[in-house]
Amino acid sequence: MPDLHARKLTVLVPACDTGRHAHHPGITCAQMNEEIAWMDEYFAAELSKSLGRKVTPMSEVPPALRGPNWKAQS
């Protein structure tokens, strides 16, 4: 039986001028933040529908892996 290995593949992309996001031509950083927030809400809602329960940030991460600064969100 072969050994199993896990790998994380990383792709480097150019950053925006502030270095906070991937390059986003034609929109500002504030607009990019709004888009990211919308995507987070959308995917959380879709995942909640498919699982049949509310999903919040970190709710699917085991408590032991959340770290000391994690605060529960309702």
Q: Per the structure block, which two tokens stand in for 16?
A: 């925006």
pLDDT at 29: 93
pLDDT at 5: 59
In which band, very low, low, confident or very high, does the pLDDT at 52 lie, cut at 50, 70 and 90? confident
Q: What pLDDT sits at residue 64?
A: 81
Q: How far apart are CA 25 and CA 15, in angstroms?
A: 11
Phi then psi for residue 15, to 5 deg, are -95, 160
Which DSSP string do the residues of 13-73 spell out, in sequence order?
Answer: --B-TTSSSB--TTS-HHHHHHHHHHHHHHHHHHHHHHHTS---TTTTS-GGGS-TT----
pLDDT for residue 16: 87
Are residues 20 and 29 in contact, defined by beta-carbon separation less than 8 angstroms? Answer: yes
User: In the prediction, which pLDDT does 74 show?
Assistant: 41
